[in-house]
Structure 1
Amino acid sequence: MHDPAHFLPSFVWRAARDGVIQYANPWACRYLGIPFPELVGRHWNAFVHADDIAPVLDALRQMRNGTLLRNADVRLLRNDGTFRWHTLHLQARRDEEGQIGDTVGVAIDIHECRHAWEMYEASERRLQAAFAGARMGAWEWDMKTRVVRMTAQLAALYSFPPGTEAVLLSEVWDRVAPEHREPFQRKLTEALRNGGPFEFDFVLEGDQGHRRWLRMRGHPEFDRHGVLARVYGVSFDISAQRADEDRLSLSERRYRALVETTGALVWSADANGEIRPSGGEWEEFTGTSPDVLSGWGWLDYIHPDDRERTHQAWLEALREGIARTLTFRMYRRDGVYRMVQAHAAPLYDDKGNLQEWFGTTTDVTPRYEAQAAIEARSLRLTVAMQAANIHIASIELATWTLSLETGGERQITETLGYEAALARVHPDDSPTLDRYVRSIAAGEDPDGHFEFRVRNRHGEQWMQGSALLQRSKDGEPLRIIGSVIDITERKHMELMLREAGRRKDEFLAMLAHELRNPLAPLRTAIALLQKDEDGDAHMRDLIDLMRRQVEHMTRIVDDLLEVSRITQGRIALQLEPILVGTAVYHAVEAIAGMVESRSQNIQVDVSDATTWVCGDPTRLSQILVNVLNNASKYTPEQGRITVSVQADDESVSIIIADTGTGISADLLPKVFELFAQGERTLDRSNGGLGIGLSLVKKLVEMHKGTITVKSPGPGLGTTVTVRLPRLHHHERHSALALSEQSPREARKSLRILVVDDNRDAADSLAMLCESEDHVARVAYSSAEALESAPLLQPDVALLDIGLPDIDGYELARRLRRKGDRTPLLIAITGYGQAEDRLRAQSAGFDYHFVKPVNVESLLKLLSSLTITRS
């Protein structure tokens, strides 16, 4: 009687401790193409692929350490000279002394299964690379203002109305499905705390209960103090991908289990073909007792469409008496039909009589499902490219050839050399694009997208994309896969916006300059009036009021010039304890004239006169005056304005209500947007620039407070509530206070030349210098200044820059030759941007003051100068 392995339709051998083959079953001999007598005595490594010998030796080595069973995936040489993948199950046997003697190996052919898996993995990598390069929706979170700016694609994903460009961060988070909000917040908090790029998936609650999966990729940005400022990123719909992954996940787990073990159902049959299942695997698979499956009962568990075909194939095998492989669908205990392969081998006795059949049935469903998944994913990728107009480019690094797949109604694939492809790129962009591509090929990871222009029959087109490097299993670079989209229309819009922004900046700079010129003599005149200590108290109050209003207007002009600085919250506060009641009454005093001129009634209720906050007095006044000004502006004559203060332990609320025109529901959410205004009518003629409430909101937030605007509707009035953190008695001493000015030291009288074509500005500035016991001379032009300078020999020259004949830069060069130290040059100009200061410095100016000049700072500078006269 032969060993059962003699009839097993699988590769079986036994080798001695030194690796010499002692036994091989007929199946192995037929596979190797070597008769059994010639096979015995040869070493097993002669039939194993050279790259797979090491894993086998490693498995044998571990077995000798005490483990008697090991598996290894190897390639075995077939009789036709090809190698096929097998799972090699090794079992060591001990000799009579307990030492490991020979080793038995059983090899199961997994070549087709492994090939299908490799195809599946390759397709998966390519699909992931393509979708990683496609940016479906971009966003930016401003963590200080809690505002989200987004692209149109992202707005559509979140079901925001068309045209939505910015919303509050809470509106975005509220659209996360309720059961996903807690893990969403937890993952986001952890990602932002770690400070690096992050990625996670979540479910979005859409309209009418429609849900979709989104994948979020983001990168946080911190300011120089380490405080989270912004978060940038992209989100795109992965609903279809998640559904596919969920379906394939189950198949992949089953497939792995199948690879790790043989998973075969073993059976035998008599010469008449009646099957006898063996082992408990059959009952575990079908959920039925082996007795029910015995004989011909197993046919009842084959899919009805495959049953007759399988039956006839089995009868044919019985008639021919040769080994057969049958493929069919078989019922499993969970109600699912699985694709299986049954291998049957006849067993003959010594006389050549058929004795029985021996076989195995293996579940091969993953092989078929993997192929279906590959085809389905390929189809989805094609549809996605057509829908998003994505172009996928692939550069084979071995040959530097580029393949371009163009999405559209008819997919076009084009292959050309890298240099030929680069020649289609605009000459100004090709060097940058070439560096980007070669840095990826070198294994680097360049940040962001790449942009370039191409020239074709449509003219010049702007393209944007990103790319990834695909490596082999050994880590060697194989190819670069990238995706590009046409952004020509967006680029044209960016250029238009950039030009509009440039014109806006030029207008604001000129406007600020023109506003500063009349402010300069006003500020100087007020400083001179303040020096008159004999004036009565009423006059001093009026002068103080004028000073406050000029300072207030100066700050507004500065803010108007720096709109970008305002929108980014970069205004520096000068904090000190402030009595809320005092701030309220000063603000009411500032707009009292406007209220009186409109015959309006204003009521103030400050119940607690000892309520304090910590803030910038000027900015807090700016907040209240701006809100009160709006209340008066939009309240009709005989209308009423009320100002009240309420406080609790944590905060102070300043409530300003009016009986004015109110705010419509569609405008109410936009009142804090920059340059936003309601519709102007004949009875609303006092419109402004539309920056008031936007600036107020940012100033309130800089004071760690909040502002809300409520209105029942048009004609029903408006209520504005400013809420600020309360400063208690024990905290006031720790707040930042203004330092007292040090008493002036004795100083020498200076000879000062004042040059300005604005006579009021020049004369008032000279008078101010003379009030400090300096000698001042005035020149209204550069020519007059050059005539007066040799006679006066000034210690200091105060020069306007925008002079009509010779500008202040050239005048400075003529007044002080290279190497001289006198006169000291001070620029007095309406231009105060960074480039203006740099230009003044290069022209030789020692100091730079912006109109209207801060009188106290100028006088302090003059008093500190000690100049040695020649």
Structure 2
Amino acid sequence: MHDPAHFLPSFVWRAARDGVIQYANPWACRYLGIAFPDLVGRHWKDFIHPDDIQPVLDALRQMRDGTLLRNVDVRLLRTDGAFRWHTLHLQARRDEEGEIGETVGVAIDIHECRHAWAMYEASERRLQAAFAGARMGAWEWDMKTRVVRMTAQLAALYSFPPGTEAVLLSEVWDRVAPEHREPFQRKLTEALRDGGPFEFDFVLEPGPGTRRWLRMRGHPEFDRQGVLTRVYGVSFDISMQRADEDRLSLSERRYRALVESTGALVWSADANGEIRPSGGEWEKFTGKSAEALSGWGWLEYIHPDDRERTQEAWLEALQQGTARTLTFRMYRRDGVYRMVQAHAAPLYDDEGNLQEWFGTTTDVTPRYEAQAAIEARSLRLTVAMQAANIHIASLELATWTLFLETGGERQIHETLTYDAALARVHPDDSATLDRYMRSLAAGDNPGGHFEFRVRNVHGEQWMQGSALLQRSKDGKPLRIIGSVIDITERKHMELMLRESGRRKDEFLAMLAHELRNPLAPLRTAIALLQKDQETEAHLRELIDLMRRQVEHMTRIVDDLLEVSRITQGRIALQVEPILVGTAVYHSVEAIAGMVEARSQTIHVDVSDATTWVCGDVTRLSQILVNVLNNASKYTPEHGRITVSVQADEASVSIVIADTGTGISADLLPKVFELFSQGERTLDRSNGGLGIGLSLVKKLVEMHKGTISVQSPGPGLGTTVTIRLPRLHHHERHSARALTEASMHEARKSLRILVVDDNRDAADSLAMLCESEGHVARVAYSSEEALESAPTLEPDVALLDIGLPDIDGYELARRLRRKGDTTPMLIAITGYGQAEDRLRAQSAGFDYHFVKPVNVDSLLKLLSSLTVTR
């Protein structure tokens, strides 16, 4: 009868006190590739990896201290020259004197288990590196316990204390900005109800004064009964697209499995399958005696869910009579079920009859835990990549080979050379991306996100990515790991918004210009009507009404054009030292008529008359007049307006306060927005487009100043504070005053040629000139003007610029030869920007008037001209 160890599918040996092998079972001989006679007499050190000899000696030394059992992990040399990991279970036997005489060893192959654990650790490192490269925060909600497990990056994003790995779900929701909590809850409820991946944005407010936009992408998980159990996902900061502000290192530090070294349970069974446990390992493992486990009693210690399946598999093995490996969960004495693997081998007699079975049962829980962790980790990574639509790339710097893992419903893995990958990038972006990658590979820190376009079957796509350099232990660059996401939709929206803004600015400019043409003849006609001294009183009132409305509409058109110019960056300030007191008094004088008409009082307080600022005289006047005009417009009759100037070492403050209608709290933050207005009555008695303060704010900022508006509320008045940098040391300057064009004796009558393709504008302007005693002739085209000029010999030519045949610039050159001074050329045009005035000057124009023409200024100019022939 053979020793039971003879049939075991495990490595079994016996060695003398000096380490010489006395016995080895057939399994050991086959593994070592040495016949039994040749094996006996050799030392056990010959078959153990040199680095593992000392741990074995230490185990043997400890056994001499009284312990007769000891386990140690070693690498055993296989017949093919490879070393494989085994758990060596050592048992000492004492001789007749009580001393240790020999040692019995049973080695269980754990190489695959060690390999699986190494794969798990490598996968963990790659996952951490990929999430760190993506700069995202990952999370997992346990909906049963209402606990959120999160990465360190997400904890920092939510301003949780360092080291926070788990919090209550309510703590996360409390950090959502109050005004976003209801939409957040609603969107999340809808997403979880639908059961699919979801994505939405919200505002996070982790602390006072700290707000940021987050984008959340997640995937819910339900149990078999359809009950929501957990939700996985990622969140990342989308408020700023810069690396220093959204660098999130995504890593998960959960699922740290502790693998314990366990012993093998040796057993035998008769031909009917009744088990006979061998040795005391069974009792140590289960806490039960061998008698309780004998026969079919061992089934009682198998997990209920595995018991029937294991029994059927064992009965099948008995029926077939072949070797079998069974895996199931078995009860341990500490109350924990462990995953074990049982190897059973049949023993036949010489006639081929089944005699008995021999086997071992090994605790393989660490291997299964590692495998389960790898699968779970891989599943979470897949879900996260699908939810975030992330593409992860790993560039091996040793070979410059790129491994690309594409997220989405269908995972795509691709390996290609760096040059081949760069060839897919848009030619305009490839050089920039290449410089970024080579700078990172060289150990530099280029910082920030990078953007580039790729061309594929879907057309041209915009991608945004971030990357980091992974180094070896000695600091050498190993690989670049990065992640990219598709931002094509966002880029298209940005381009659409930019184009929409450009078209809006062009429309405002064109609208303002086109509105000037009909206003010009209206203003001229009103001026003609006002010259009639015999007009009845009620008609004069109607004329005054029309004049006021035309002036009001002219101001609106001017504001529109100013906003368009500033938005397009087409205004340049002509700065010079300015006395603030003078600017304030001139502005108050400009609106004095309006204040008087409304029976209002205005009080001016300039404490220091020598306070200077550096600015554009015209624009500063425009700022003050606009604010004063608003103060008067929104202050009822008999109201009060105050203007005060205060100065310190750094700045000058101009404060304009009124006792008017005030501003409501909801409108106050929006008063500087374009087209922003408060609540209006149906009659819109206050008029305006809501662009005045927007224009004022832009002009103040161009002067490097600030403007603020305060109001206690409706009916409590408004205070506007304009703060400009103070000028302390200024050079002497010459201030140009508006004077008459000429102080020479005026001629009583001028010959005037009026050219405009707008017949109403031309005719009304000619009538206005004739009302002053001048001789006027009208031409509705450039060709007609050139025909009339030799006969008329005009002293003055009033020319429209936008003529259909020959424009006003060319007509001016033809009407007055180079070197001549007549006729005097005056541009009458809807184009009033600085470049338009310069172009008119270069074409030979002497004066430039913008439609609708200021009638008083034009008539004053004509009356002051002295023509010499």
CA distance in 1, matches of 2:540, 2:437: 72
Deviations 1:28-50 (A, max 9, x none): 99988689999999999999999
Q: Are positions 1:437 and 2:418 aligned together?
A: no
CA distance in 1, matches of 2:554, 2:199: 47
Name the stretch that deviates more: 405-414 or 543-552.
543-552
SS at match of 1:257: coil
Name the stretch that deviates more: 24-33 or 292-301.
292-301
CA shift for structure 1 position 611: 3.3
Asked if the contact 2:243–2:449 (Cα under 8 Å) also holds between the matched residues in 1, the reply is: no
CA shift for structure 1 position 393: 9.9
Asked if the contact 2:397–2:441 (Cα under 8 Å) also holds between the matched residues in 1, the reply is: yes
Q: 1:257 to 1:706 in 2, by over 3 A?
A: same
CA distance in 1, matches of 2:805, 2:521: 22
Name the stretch that deviates more: 510-519 or 285-294.
285-294
CA shift for structure 1 position 630: 1.4
Q: 1:807 to 1:698 in 2, by over 3 A?
A: closer
Asked if the contact 1:254–1:366 (Cα under 8 Å) also holds between the matched residues in 2, the reply is: no
Name the stretch that deviates more: 594-603 or 753-762.
753-762
Asked if the contact 1:595–1:601 (Cα under 8 Å) also holds between the matched residues in 2, the reply is: yes
SS at match of 2:535: coil
CA shift for structure 1 position 585: 1.7
Asked if the contact 1:108–1:262 (Cα under 8 Å) also holds between the matched residues in 2, the reply is: no
CA shift for structure 1 position 653: 2.6
CA distance in 2, matches of 1:772, 1:62: 127
CA shift for structure 1 position 588: 1.4
CA shift for structure 1 position 430: 15
Q: 1:170 to 1:481 in 2, by over 3 A?
A: same
CA shift for structure 1 position 555: 11
Name the stretch that deviates more: 853-862 or 836-845.
853-862
Q: 1:857 to 1:788 in 2, by over 3 A?
A: same
Asked if the contact 1:509–1:831 (Cα under 8 Å) also holds between the matched residues in 2, the reply is: no
Structure number, greater radius of gyration: 2
Deviations 1:44-81 (A, max 9, x none): 99999999999999999999999999999999996446
Asked if the contact 1:509–1:561 (Cα under 8 Å) also holds between the matched residues in 2, the reply is: yes
Name the stretch that deviates more: 795-804 or 440-449.
440-449
CA distance in 2, matches of 1:141, 1:745: 92
CA shift for structure 1 position 319: 28
CA distance in 1, matches of 2:512, 2:142: 29
Name the stretch that deviates more: 76-85 or 607-616.
76-85
CA distance in 2, matches of 1:458, 1:246: 29
CA distance in 2, matches of 1:453, 1:382: 25
Asked if the contact 1:575–1:737 (Cα under 8 Å) also holds between the matched residues in 2, the reply is: no
SS at match of 1:681: coil
SS at match of 2:75: strand
Name the stretch that deviates more: 347-356 or 470-479.
347-356
CA shift for structure 1 position 802: 1.7
CA distance in 2, matches of 1:331, 1:164: 35
CA shift for structure 1 position 595: 1.8
Asked if the contact 2:155–2:164 (Cα under 8 Å) also holds between the matched residues in 1, the reply is: yes
CA distance in 1, matches of 2:718, 2:229: 33
CA distance in 2, matches of 1:572, 1:150: 53
CA shift for structure 1 position 663: 1.5
Q: 1:385 to 1:230 in 2, by over 3 A?
A: closer
CA distance in 2, matches of 1:665, 1:360: 82
CA distance in 2, matches of 1:142, 1:269: 46
Q: TM-score, normalised by structure 2?
A: 0.47
Asked if the contact 1:634–1:684 (Cα under 8 Å) also holds between the matched residues in 2, the reply is: no
Q: 1:776 to 1:510 in 2, by over 3 A?
A: same
Asked if the contact 1:575–1:736 (Cα under 8 Å) also holds between the matched residues in 2, the reply is: no
Q: 1:719 to 1:421 in 2, by over 3 A?
A: same
Q: 1:201 to 1:854 in 2, by over 3 A?
A: same
SS at match of 1:730: coil
Q: 1:261 to 1:490 in 2, by over 3 A?
A: same
CA shift for structure 1 position 659: 2.2
Q: 1:423 to 1:553 in 2, by over 3 A?
A: same
Asked if the contact 2:302–2:331 (Cα under 8 Å) also holds between the matched residues in 1, the reply is: yes
Q: TM-score, normalised by structure 1?
A: 0.47
CA distance in 1, matches of 2:224, 2:321: 83
CA shift for structure 1 position 781: 2.5
CA distance in 1, matches of 2:706, 2:168: 14
Partner residue, 1:724? 724
Asked if the contact 2:453–2:462 (Cα under 8 Å) also holds between the matched residues in 1, the reply is: yes
Q: 1:158 to 1:451 in 2, by over 3 A?
A: same
Deviations 1:729-757 (A, max 9, x none): 78999999999999999999999999655
Partner residue, 2:361? 361
SS at match of 2:269: strand
CA shift for structure 1 position 524: 14
CA distance in 1, matches of 2:61, 2:819: 87
Asked if the contact 2:604–2:643 (Cα under 8 Å) also holds between the matched residues in 1, the reply is: yes
CA shift for structure 1 position 597: 2.2
Name the stretch that deviates more: 805-814 or 242-251.
242-251
CA shift for structure 1 position 701: 3.1
CA shift for structure 1 position 547: 18
Q: 1:140 to 1:737 in 2, by over 3 A?
A: farther
Q: 1:683 to 1:452 in 2, by over 3 A?
A: same
CA distance in 2, matches of 1:861, 1:18: 127
CA distance in 1, matches of 2:560, 2:164: 27
CA distance in 2, matches of 1:826, 1:90: 115
**Structural mapping, 1:812-827, within 5 Å:** none
Partner residue, 2:86? 86
Q: 1:843 to 1:640 in 2, by over 3 A?
A: closer
CA shift for structure 1 position 658: 1.9
Partner residue, 1:809? 809
Name the stretch that deviates more: 791-800 or 508-517.
791-800
Q: 1:732 to 1:788 in 2, by over 3 A?
A: closer
Name the stretch that deviates more: 249-258 or 485-494.
249-258
Q: 1:31 to 1:428 in 2, by over 3 A?
A: same
Asked if the contact 2:571–2:834 (Cα under 8 Å) also holds between the matched residues in 1, the reply is: no
Deviations 1:470-528 (A, max 9, x none): 99999999999998878787688668756754553443232333466699999999999
Asked if the contact 1:11–1:27 (Cα under 8 Å) also holds between the matched residues in 2, the reply is: yes
CA shift for structure 1 position 382: 3.6
Deviations 1:505-554 (A, max 9, x none): 44323233346669999999999999999999999999999999999999
Q: CA RMSD in A?
A: 15.5
Name the stretch that deviates more: 15-24 or 816-825.
15-24
CA shift for structure 1 position 664: 1.6
SS at match of 1:675: coil
CA distance in 2, matches of 1:506, 1:623: 24
CA distance in 2, matches of 1:265, 1:530: 119
Asked if the contact 2:801–2:827 (Cα under 8 Å) also holds between the matched residues in 1, the reply is: yes
Partner residue, 2:656? 656
CA distance in 2, matches of 1:814, 1:742: 26
Aligned residues: 869
Asked if the contact 2:152–2:251 (Cα under 8 Å) also holds between the matched residues in 1, the reply is: no
Asked if the contact 2:135–2:250 (Cα under 8 Å) also holds between the matched residues in 1, the reply is: no
SS at match of 2:288: coil
Name the stretch that deviates more: 836-845 or 613-622.
836-845
Partner residue, 2:378? 378
CA shift for structure 1 position 644: 2.4
CA distance in 2, matches of 1:166, 1:324: 44
Name the stretch that deviates more: 649-658 or 237-246.
237-246
Name the stretch that deviates more: 744-753 or 465-474.
744-753
CA distance in 1, matches of 2:553, 2:648: 33
CA distance in 1, matches of 2:849, 2:228: 35
CA shift for structure 1 position 667: 1.2
Name the stretch that deviates more: 7-16 or 611-620.
7-16
Q: 1:553 to 1:272 in 2, by over 3 A?
A: same
Asked if the contact 1:799–1:828 (Cα under 8 Å) also holds between the matched residues in 2, the reply is: yes
Q: 1:789 to 1:488 in 2, by over 3 A?
A: same
Name the stretch that deviates more: 700-709 or 522-531.
522-531
CA shift for structure 1 position 192: 41
Identity of paired residues, percent? 91
Asked if the contact 1:611–1:647 (Cα under 8 Å) also holds between the matched residues in 2, the reply is: yes
SS at match of 2:79: coil
Partner residue, 2:777? 777
Asked if the contact 1:576–1:738 (Cα under 8 Å) also holds between the matched residues in 2, the reply is: no
Name the stretch that deviates more: 60-69 or 169-178.
60-69
Asked if the contact 2:175–2:205 (Cα under 8 Å) also holds between the matched residues in 1, the reply is: yes
SS at match of 2:268: strand
CA shift for structure 1 position 633: 1.7
CA distance in 2, matches of 1:573, 1:92: 100
Name the stretch that deviates more: 359-368 or 163-172.
163-172
Asked if the contact 1:133–1:465 (Cα under 8 Å) also holds between the matched residues in 2, the reply is: no
CA shift for structure 1 position 104: 26
Asked if the contact 2:132–2:248 (Cα under 8 Å) also holds between the matched residues in 1, the reply is: no
Deviations 1:688-728 (A, max 9, x none): 23222222223333333332212222222222222333344
CA shift for structure 1 position 646: 3.1
CA distance in 1, matches of 2:773, 2:149: 58
CA shift for structure 1 position 627: 1.4
CA shift for structure 1 position 635: 1.9
